[in-house]
Structures are given as C-alpha cells and as structure tokens.
Amino acid sequence: MASLLHFSAAAVATIFTMIDPFGLVPMYLAAVSGVPAPVRKRVPLKAAVIAGIVVLLAGVAGRVVLHVLGITLPAFSISGGALLFLVALDMIFGRPTGARETETERSEAITRSDPSVFPIAFPMIAGPGSILTVILLVELAKGEPLKLIVVIGALLLAIATCYLTMLFAERLMRLAGQTGMHVLTRLAGVVLAALAVQFVLNGITGYIHPEVLPTP
C-alpha cells in the first residue's frame, strides 16, 4: 500500500508539473488571440480531448516500441529524466529549450484559424515531454493494474485541469496576472527538476542493481 501511495504521489506530481495547466494560460490566450468567437468557444474542449487521446495512445504504443527496440527501463529512466530536467530549466528560467515547442512551431501557430489541434493540443499540452512522462510512468508501473489506473487517472485529472484553466483563462489572468502565472510556473519547474533528478538516480540504481527497479 505504501508503495502504491508513493507511486501515486510521484505520478500526479510529475504529470501535473510537466503539463503545467496554469502555465498554459498565457500561451493559450496568445494562441486564441484573434480567433473568431464561435471557434474560440470550442477550443478548450476540443484541445483537451485531442491532447488526452494523443498522450494515452502514445503511452500504450510507446511501451510496445521500447520493448521491440530493446530499450531497458533504466536507460529510458535516465534519458527521460534528462529531458524533463531541460523542461524544468525552461520553466524556471523562462528560456525556451525547444523541448515543448520550437520557434518554427510558434511562428506557424500564428497563422492558424483554429488552434485547437496545433499548437494547443500539440505541443502545448501533449508535447514531447508530456508523452515521454506518461511512457516513463507506464514503464515504472511494470504492468500492475492499480498503478496503470493511477497513471491514467493522473493524466485525466491534469487534462481536465487544463480544460478548466483554458475555459477560465481570461479570469485567471486578471486574478493572478502575468507575474503570478510566472511564479506558479517557476515553482512547478523546481518540483519537476527534483523529480527529473530522481528519475536519473533511479535509472542508475536500476542499471547497477537490475534486481531493484525503484519507482520515483
């Protein structure tokens, strides 16, 4: 039971900090700026549903691909932790690393009349980091049904929070302001950085002692 609680807490914290629903607010408002009102009303739900489907499918397919390629859990844990750490630096210092979206993607998004799929669903919500996080957690679950349910539940909760933050984005921005959103994002980045380092340490431990594959 203690192991399940520990895994659940790590899964929720990692997915939430990686997706960063509150940090999504200013990016969402920028993406829908100038979008016609009828289209804009449909964006939050459409983007949330598409992002959830993309990440869930990637989590399932990614696990299969890893086994086909012979990539071990320690190796994936170390590489995943390294990428998550880059995203954490992006969040903490506000300097884009390209781990979420590239400059080309941001420029192309400006010309989109319906930003639901691109750039909001992908890569703002279901970006490479989010997908990698879910694949990593699915691997760490090692096929245990309860842990897999926890991962799915944590993802759905994070996606639902993204939907709500997009739905009330303008109110949240007025309430917290740009500075408040930046503070929340930086705090989440610090947590994500610690989790990323833990993933790397777990991968190293799992490689040195294959019989012990620790969860985050």
* pLDDT tens for each residue of 2-32: 688 989 999 999 999 889 898 889 889 988 9
Per-residue pLDDT for 125 more than 60?
yes
Query: Rounded to the nearest 5 degrees, what angle is found at the Cα of 1, between the Cα atoms of 10 and 58?
Result: 40
Structure tokens at 38: 């009828």
How many other C-beta atoms are found inside a 10 Å radius of the C-beta of residue 164?
Answer: 13
By percentage, how much of the chain surpasses pLDDT 90? 33
Q: Which two tokens stand for residue 151?
A: 């991962």
**pLDDT for residue 214:** 45
List, as one string, the DSSP characters of 79-144.
HHHHHHHHHHHHHHH----SSS--HHHHHHHTT-S--IIIIIIIIIIS-HHHHHHHHHHHHHHTT-
Q: Among 61-65, 99-103, 146-150, 160-164, which stretch is predicted with the lowest mean pLDDT?
A: 99-103
Tell me the C-alpha to C-alpha distance, in Å, between residue 83 and each of 23, 77, 136, 192, 208: 18, 10, 12, 11, 21
At 76-116, the pLDDT tens digits run 889 888 888 888 888 888 765 555 555 555 555 444 578 99
The pLDDT assigned to 176 comes to 82
Phi, psi (deg, nearest 5) at residue 161: -65, -40
Q: Return d(Cα 146, Cα 164) in angstroms, integer.
A: 27
- In this prediction the pTM is 0.80
Total Cβ atoms within 10 A of residue 31: 23
